[in-house]
A and B are shown apart, each in its own frame.
Chain A
Amino acid sequence: MADEAKPVTNIKTPMRLEYRYSAGVATSRFLRGIGQGKILGQRCPSCRKVYVPPRGSCPRCAVPTVEEVELSDEGTITTFAIVRVPSENIDVPLPFASVHVLLDGCDIPFFSVVQECPVDQIRIGMRVQAVWVPKEELTSTLQSIRYFKPTGEPDVPFEKLKEFL
């Protein structure tokens, strides 16, 4: 086929759009807390459940949340996946455990990763603790929590975690 008769099957049109995000009022308070090495949640005035990261509202009750609650940086794994496939936005070496951690004093699992533990030993019910960057490197981003690691405490029985799945 002559060149001019060939179909154009592909053109590359790179797109670039820049955005200046704003975190919102509740998440800003949370991120400032992270910058000070603290995990701040919010309690719903209606159902009394504690949310982290807070988004300024309880989706269950559809009411604004304002009461701040400082949470422990220890918690329990409610479920997890072992990620063995690369993802452009994730910098952790493969394979790694993507976990839901229920922080003590909180009612909703927090998404994070677990390190310092072989992936085949990670269990539902395992107790873990946040590993922070050194104090002088703390910033108002979630990168300040590097990952979670096992505490060595006994596991929490599955029965107690069922409702958090």
Chain B
Amino acid sequence: MAERCAIVGIGQTHHTARRDDVSIAGLLREAALRALDDAGLDWPDVDAVVIGKAPDMFEGVMMPELYLADALGAVGKPMLRVHTAGSVGGSTAIVAASLIQAGIHERVLTVAFEKQSESNAMWALTVKTPLQAAVVAGAGGYFAPLVRGYMQRSGAPEDTGIRVAVKDRANALKNPYAHIRDPNLTFDAIAGSPMLWDPIRFHETCPSSDGACAMVLTSERAIPRPKLAPAWVHSMAMRSEPTQFAGQEKINPVSGQMCAKEVYSKAGITDPRREIDAAEIYVPFSWFEPMWMENLGFAEVGQGWKMTYEGATALDGDLPVNCSGGVLSSNPIGASGMLRFAEAAMQVRGQAGEHQVDGAKIALGHAYGGGSQFFSMWIVGSARP
């Protein structure tokens, strides 16, 4: 009964540590204008705006959609603000696509962003309250023990994480928008980089970026005459579970497994490893690639690292993962999830330039957040579903 949803325009900023030359609004407009231009549409064509970002404390602006309404052409229109922690970029795209699928709007602009340089992300993530012991050092401090647990459980070789980083850093060199584009990041350079949150090394970690991503979504009848054929939403899914409870599986979260099953089954995918041509997965620390390969059902439990090791996830592998360089190479937190969704759509539109997977027809976009507890995913395809 749902309307079909097409992705007709995609835009992003050149992600970097500091964008002093633009305001928050300017940063978002850059991505939004690129998406509108890609779609061949203009601000008045947009029916509604859906915006997403991670905690407001990152920029110190409470509910910034209020201040951004003018800059995003939302005046007189409906505007929604989504926040589901790190998965927010993905969830935001899902809310926007739902507006199309529900038949409520014909053309929706969705934008996600983070301008981390405006504040201090580490500070915002670990506000010191008198009630908690201050023992967790930001996201790295939180996730490093989970990585260690995975290493111990799977017996993965210790250099798996380095290999993921080598691949993603090399992919980033093919993506003009990536934040970290450094040809010197060889295996030895990454292996020799300092341990920050042992077992996580500096170069196995995502950067802190200023950046934004935008997409224009339309119903089938409202598809403009874009320069490029649209990508189609084949399926979407979201799953959440509590932060911490007794007996919880933190390394291979059930919410992620369920989300993946749902997104495949709704898209009619029975053998994801074979049927999916490219995947953009939220990997903020390199070890999460093998962990998510298992969680997403691409590999048996305990075997995910072999995909990295055997080159299956490389640009020329059988399941290219993070051809854009991924979160490891660009991390405007609130936008990182939408970038995964958008890059998946770029692949099936044949729009990914140097990091294009030849002939990609079906792609997965994936985002997660919180303590590995919020998941959002979509399957997009070049064919009308």
Contacts and interface: CB of A to CB of B under 8 A. Distances in A.
Interface of A: 7, 9-10, 15, 21, 23, 27, 31, 44, 47, 49-51, 58-60, 78-85, 87-92, 95, 98-100, 107-108, 111-113, 119, 124, 141-143, 145, 158, 162-165
Given A89-B134, A142-B133, A108 B198 contact: no
A82 B198 contact: yes
Interface of B: 20-21, 60, 120, 122-123, 126-138, 140-141, 144-149, 152-153, 194-200, 242-251
Given A50-B246, A82-B195, A90 B131 contact: no
A162 B128 CA distance: 31
B149 A81 contact: no
Given A49-B246, A111-B136, A163-B247, 16 more contacts: A9-B20, A23-B131, A58-B245, A60-B242, A60-B245, A60-B248, A80-B145, A81-B200, A82-B195, A82-B198, A88-B120, A89-B127, A108-B246, A111-B133, A162-B153, A165-B250
Contacts of B250: 165
Nearest to B132: A142
B141 A83 contact: yes
A145 B242 contact: no
Most chain B Cβ neighbours within 10 Å, of A10, A47, A49, A111: A111
Contacts of A162: 153
Contact of B138 (A87, A92, A95): A87
A116 B122 CA distance: 27
20 contacts: A7-B21, A27-B131, A51-B246, A81-B144, A81-B147, A81-B148, A81-B198, A82-B195, A83-B198, A84-B196, A84-B198, A87-B122, A89-B126, A98-B135, A108-B246, A111-B136, A124-B149, A141-B131, A162-B153, A164-B247
Nearest to B129: A21
Contact of A21 (B130, B199, B248): B130
A79 to B, nearest CB: 4
Contacts of A7: 21
A59 B248 CA distance: 10
B133 to A, nearest CB: 4
A88 B133 contact: no
B143 to A, nearest CB: 8
Contacts of A88: 120, 122-123, 126
A34 B17 CA distance: 42
A26 to B, nearest CB: 12
Contact of B131 (A21, A44, A95, A111): A21
Contacts of A9: 20-21
Contacts of A80: 145, 148
A16 B131 CA distance: 20
A92 B137 CA distance: 11
Nearest to B21: A9
A135 to B, nearest CB: 19
Task: Point out which of B135, B249, B251 has the most chain A C-beta atoms below 10 A from its C-beta.
Answer: B135
A85 B246 contact: no
Contacts of A60: 242, 245-248
Contacts of A58: 245-246
Given A83-B197, A111-B136, A98 B144 contact: yes
A16 to B, nearest CB: 11
Nearest first, the 5 A-B pairs at minimum CB distance are: A81-B144, A59-B242, A82-B198, A49-B246, A107-B246
A145 to B, nearest CB: 7
Contacts of B131: 21, 23, 27, 31, 141-142
Contacts of A89: 123, 126-128, 134
Contacts of A78: 149
Contacts of B140: 81, 85
Contact of B145 (A47, A79, A107, A113): A79
B134 A81 contact: no
Nearest to A61: B245
A40 B21 CA distance: 53
